[in-house]
């Protein structure tokens, strides 16, 4: 089963790029095949649709922030599975 996670970035979204090494590390850490980044509710809906179109069977949403002294992704809370 293909799994994907959408990171809802609340801080530092401007500094995080799609081809970032940090996103590759996040994908490995979370154990998923795809990671997308969103900064608004509309972007979450769009990234969810993109993952479904790519064949992801299990899509989760996780809040994160990027930055700090060492410019890294910090995850907050528990991942929520998206249904609909």
pLDDT tens across 29-43, in order? 999 999 999 999 999
Euclidean distance between CA atoms 56 and 10, whole angstroms:
24
Query: What pLDDT, on a 0 to 100 scale, did the predictor assign at position 69?
Result: 66
Question: How many C-alpha atoms does 36 have within 13 Å on its Cβ side?
Answer: 22
Query: What pLDDT, on a 0 to 100 scale, did the predictor assign at position 17?
Result: 77
Query: What pLDDT, on a 0 to 100 scale, did the predictor assign at position 84?
Result: 72
Query: What pLDDT, on a 0 to 100 scale, did the predictor assign at position 15?
Result: 86
Tell me the three-class secondary structure of 45-58, residue by residue: HHHHHHHHHCCCCE
Which ranges of the chain have pLDDT less than 50?
none
Task: Output the pTM of the full model.
Answer: 0.91
Euclidean distance between CA atoms 32 and 35, whole angstroms:
7
Residue 84 is given by DSSP the state -
């Amino acid at each position: 089963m293909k799994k994907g996670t959408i990171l809802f970035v609340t801080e530092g979204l401007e500094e995080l790029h799609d081809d970032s090494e940090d996103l590759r590390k996040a994908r490995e850490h979370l154990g998923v095949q795809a990671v997308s980044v969103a900064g608004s509710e509309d972007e979450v809906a769009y990234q969810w649709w993109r993952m479904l179109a790519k064949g992801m069977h299990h899509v989760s949403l996780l809040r994160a922030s990027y930055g700090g002294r060492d410019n890294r992704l910090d995850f907050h809370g528990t991942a929520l599975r998206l249904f609909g």
